[in-house]
Chains A and B, each alone.
Chain A
Amino acid sequence: MDLRYSESDERFRAEVRAWLSDALPKLPPKPGPHDWDARRAYDTTWQRMLFDAGYAGINWPSEYGGRGASPTEHLIFLEETERAGAPYVGVNFVGLLHAGPTLIAEATEEQKTAHLPKILRGEEVWCQGFSEPGAGSDLASLKTRAVLDGDHYVVNGQKIWTSFAHVADFGELLVRTDPDAPKHKGITWLILPMDTPGIEVRPLRTITGSSEFSEVFFTDVRIPIENRVGQENDGWRVAMVTFSFERGTAFVGELVRSMKLVEELAELARKLPRGSGSAWDDGGVRRELGLIAAQLDGLWHLTKRTITESERTGVPGIGGSIFKLYYSEVRHHLGDLAMKILGTAALATEDEPAVDHVRGWIHAMSISIAAGTTQIQRNILSERVLGMPKEPS
């Protein structure tokens, strides 16, 4: 085992760093959290800058316009961009991290040509229409119905937790095409143009105070049959291709950000007065923060094990679910500890120095729910890794 980076990896890191130090000052000021048009413009501008520099689709195969970087280079890229405070995928995280990779794996050449270059250039923003009010953890029970009428699917139903739906051009949509088949066998994956008549987007205000998510309602929405990806009723398998991307390196940026927050929280604790000293004088606080730092370091090492495994086998293995479960717990602990340390300094969610810690605390509550809840991750690990029997349904 060897954790040192190769010379070519180090060259790549130096190149990314040099580019970031040149590119970041050219970015316009970051827009406010509620100015959605400006947020789309900001994120797609950044995507175009990445594209022009050859960093767009860092881990996408080069034949589809990506950089074809190795998993290690991907890790380096995520680490360096996060450390430099660069924007991440922003409003198009679905296009770049979910829909794009799914199209690469499953779409026809026409579908790939129509969408992949635009996603990479920042000209096309995607959202995800998977979850429904009645289909969350039990996603395969989704009911949004699509009926074939000539050369169109006619869609009726409702989706929820659709991120950035109001600024998206397309959506990846899971629909029920065979209500009589077993639940996993009657689902189809469609490319949804968001300007199709019959779509209504209602923003959903979350506990962050922001409206990144929406509910999307479908009334006789007609989607051309050529927008189907994969075979009819084979959409569950197609969607699972997406999930294997979601559980690979998807949380590296998160991890690096949390490692930074730990350092900042330690610094803040040394300044926050408590009695005649500071919050840092409390040994309990110090040791909790020390434990969190060790746990995040442990996840960094685990990431490298997962990456080595995916370099060898092409798939991320079990590391993804372990990461997601453990990170969620640590992220909660970090947020809870921040709230304890901050005291009344935590009572604002904008414009104050502690705001990243307060927002992070709230954000933690979505981390343990989104992309497979903590409880679902425990089911996956105990059933698929430890071979424990399923709970009878």
Chain B
Amino acid sequence: MNFDLDQDERALQAAIRDLCRGVFPMETVRGLESSSGISSETWGALEDAGVFSLRLPESDGGAGLGMTAAVIVFEQLGRALVPGPLVGTHLARTLGIPGERVTFAHRDDLVISNLDSSDAVAVIDAEGVWVISQNGIAGVPVAQPLDPLTPVSRVSSLPQGERVVEGADVSAIRLEASALTAALLVGIATAETDLAVAYAKERRQFGRPIGSFQAVKHICADMLTRAEVARAAVYAAGVHLDGHGDGDTARAVTGAMLLASEAAFANGKACVQVHGGMGFTWEIDAHLYLKRAAALIALHGGADTYAEEMAAAL
């Protein structure tokens, strides 16, 4: 048993972190609002770094890595608030679905994120994963999406599409999607903690930093705690999906998604609160993390779904 990043995993984590710092500083991320979260330059940087192909065999241009590596990478993407159909494109590449960008959707939802910037939509339902070309879907973009960097379209119905995955493999894909989303969320939960702590150390009231007040620092300690426990769960989910776990894989992934959802959502609200009035302004980044968290959670079925699944395992 070794439940800490090994040397290769550390190197991968550092490389993606550096990439995010270089390519996705917050000014750049905010600037992407005008282009639905995508620019060819930023997307190309993700592509070149192997974010989408990392689980393909080396003979197919991938890195031959597994889900453990993928969650490490996606955690850093979440932390940098990288927009776009990240989970969908990663899964599509792994499944051999063509397209520079592919967004994943659940058939019953009739809601698709990142539709206009994607080449194809991969729709999951009980019978399979189905691919529909983007121009085969008549979506109506919602005005002012909750997360300004996650455009959302509503559809009245979805064409059946072409089946690329069926049977038992559907639940495996669903678990991979959950683990990757949970990794994004735990990255967000960490970024929210960092942002709140930095502000609390800097902001002064009553003649001292507000971070010296227990009423404020205790909020931050809870943020750290939620993020750390969720991170342990998310890494465990990745390890289980690679067949290196010590328990039930579905339970590990479901638990990770639930904890990461709770952590990102609660930390996002706490981050706004620690910023006081400034936290309620558009200028401060706190709301962007919170809204991304809310969007990711909603687009993946909502935390209650995962709580029910956990209960069903008891």
Q: What residues make up the interface of A, taking CB atoms closer than 8 Å to B?
A: 1-6, 9, 72, 262-263, 266, 283, 286-291, 293-295, 297-299, 301-302, 304-305, 307-309, 312, 318-319, 322, 325-326, 375, 377-379, 381-383, 385-392
Contact = CB atoms under 8 A, between A and B. Distances in A.
B245 A4 contact: yes
Interface string B241-262: 0001111000110111011001
Most chain A CB atoms below 10 A, which of B4, B229, B233 = B229
B183 interface: no
B217 A297 contact: no
Given A1-B9, A287-B304, A382-B220, A293 B255 contact: yes
Contact of A375 (B218, B228, B252): B218
A302 B232 contact: yes
A322 B225 contact: yes
Given A4-B246, A287-B308, A291-B310, A305 B220 contact: no
A283 B208 CA distance: 46
Contacts of A312: 4
A385 B224 contact: yes
Contacts of A301: 3, 229, 232-233, 235-236
Given A388-B200, A388-B212, 11 more contacts: A3-B246, A9-B1, A262-B314, A291-B262, A291-B307, A291-B310, A293-B310, A325-B221, A382-B211, A382-B217, A388-B201
Interface in B205-223: 208-209, 211-214, 217-218, 220-222
A297 B255 contact: yes
Interface of A is mostly: helix
Interface string B1-41: 11111100100000000000000000000000000000000
A262 B255 CA distance: 14
Given A295-B259, A326-B229, A386 B235 contact: no
B168 interface: no
A6 B238 CA distance: 19
A294 B248 CA distance: 12
B109 interface: no
Given A1-B5, A263-B314, A325-B221, A294 B208 contact: no
A324 to B, nearest CB: 10
Contacts of A5: 1, 246
B310 to A, nearest CB: 3
A23 B217 CA distance: 49
B309 interface: yes
A365 to B, nearest CB: 19
Given A3-B245, A378-B221, A387-B201, A294 B307 contact: yes
Contacts of B224: 322, 381-382, 385-386
Interface string B281-302: 0000000000000000000000
Nearest to B215: A391
A386 B307 contact: no
A289 B211 contact: no
Given A1-B68, A287-B304, A302-B229, A293 B313 contact: yes
A383 B308 CA distance: 37
B3 A294 contact: no
Contacts of A283: 308
21 contacts: A1-B4, A1-B9, A3-B3, A3-B236, A3-B240, A3-B246, A3-B247, A6-B1, A262-B314, A263-B314, A290-B314, A294-B307, A297-B233, A297-B247, A298-B230, A301-B229, A301-B233, A308-B4, A375-B214, A387-B201, A388-B201
Interface in B46-61: none
A5 B2 CA distance: 9
Interface string B179-220: 000000000000001000100110000001101111001101
Interface of B is mostly: helix
A305 B4 contact: yes
Contacts of A298: 229-230, 232-233, 255-256, 259
B140 to A, nearest CB: 32
Contact of A302 (B208, B218, B228): B228
B306 interface: yes
B311 interface: yes
Most chain A CB atoms below 10 A, which of B68, B232, B259 = B232
Most chain A CB atoms below 10 A, which of B1, B2, B220, B256 = B1
B214 A308 contact: no
Contacts of A1: 2-6, 9, 68, 235, 238-239, 244
Contacts of A291: 258, 262, 307, 310
A288 B239 CA distance: 26
A294 B230 CA distance: 10
A314 to B, nearest CB: 14
B306 A294 contact: yes
Contact of A293 (B228, B304, B311): B311
Contacts of A377: 221
A135 B86 CA distance: 54
A3 B232 CA distance: 11
Contact of A289 (B1, B3, B259, B311): B311
Contact of A304 (B1, B213, B214, B309): B1
A286 B238 CA distance: 26
Contacts of A266: 311, 314
A295 B230 CA distance: 8
B308 A290 contact: yes
Contact of B218 (A305, A322, A378): A378
Contact of B211 (A9, A308, A389): A389
A294 B255 contact: yes
Nearest to A70: B1
Contacts of A386: 193, 197, 217, 220-221, 224
B29 to A, nearest CB: 24
